Amino acid sequence: MAPLEELKLYYDTKSPFTYLAMEPAFALPERYAVRLRLLPFVLRIKGPGQRSVYSDWKAKYSYLDARRFANQRGGFKIMGPRKIYDSTPSLIGGLFAEREGFLREYLMETFRRFFERRLEIDVADEVAALVRELRGPAAEDAYRAFLAGDGPKQLDACIEEGHADHVFGVPIFVLRGELFWGNDRIPMLEERLAEYGLAR
């Protein structure tokens, strides 16, 4: 059997468009001979007063579009954030969840709760509580140790890899060096996967 093609997906847990991309992304290996590799990437977002009025209008419009996409898929909550978030604790949580074998469950629950305003992704204690809920007290202790230990270094390595891939936002898929930015580019990505003969 030929080795699976690597398909990278850069994500940030504060991105509504990454949330929209996650379920379709997780389904891709069922239809194509790919190994989905998720890499956390911290978006640096300017707050109100640090950006132009046009950027503020664009941010509001982006959430409107995100809700439209969500409604096309049956509707699920995507509420705008109440502040600018440093998603580092939740992204390190993603690396931990991948190591421990529950990345999909962790990410989908993190996105859902964040966009329902039930999880503060920049508060390590809240992320730790979610890990405990999903995998028990031993996992919570292990997450806290990872956060204080190798987690930040591993996140930095993912971000550096993103820089090498010229990642400028999320979600970005990378296939053989070609970038596909946004949940709405998944059909285009699937066309390329088929062109490469990777359809199952």
Q: Is the pLDDT of residue 94 over 90?
A: yes
pLDDT band at 82 (very low <50, low <70, confident <90, very high): confident
For residue 158, tell me if it sits in a domain: yes
The pLDDT value recorded for residue 47 is 56
What residue numbers bound the domain in which 90 lies?
16-35+86-183
Of the candidates 168, 171, 167, 200, the one whose C-alpha atom is nearest the C-alpha of residue 185 is 171
Number of domains observed in the structure of the chain:
1
For residue 138, tell me if it sits in a domain: yes
Do the Cβ atoms of 19 and 187 come closer than 8 Å? no
| Domain CATH for 114 | 3.40.30.10
Q: What is the pLDDT of residues 161-191, one digit of tens each?
A: 999 999 999 999 999 999 999 999 999 999 9
Q: Out of 46-50, 122-126, 185-189, pick the least confident.
A: 46-50
For residue 60, tell me if it sits in a domain: no
**Bigger pLDDT: 43 vs 195:** 195
For residue 172, tell me if it sits in a domain: yes
Q: How far apart are CA 159 and CA 30, in angstroms?
A: 27
For residue 67, tell me if it sits in a domain: no
**Average pLDDT rounded to a whole number, residues 123-146:** 98
Instruction: Name the pTM for this structure.
Output: 0.94
**CA distances, 94 to each of 100, 162, 177, 194 (Å):** 10, 16, 24, 29
For residue 143, tell me if it sits in a domain: yes
For residue 58, tell me if it sits in a domain: no
**CA distances, 182 to each of 16, 48, 54, 102, 128 (Å):** 10, 24, 21, 24, 29
The pLDDT value recorded for residue 30 is 97
Q: What is the pLDDT of the chain when averaged over all its residues?
A: 95
For residue 68, tell me if it sits in a domain: no
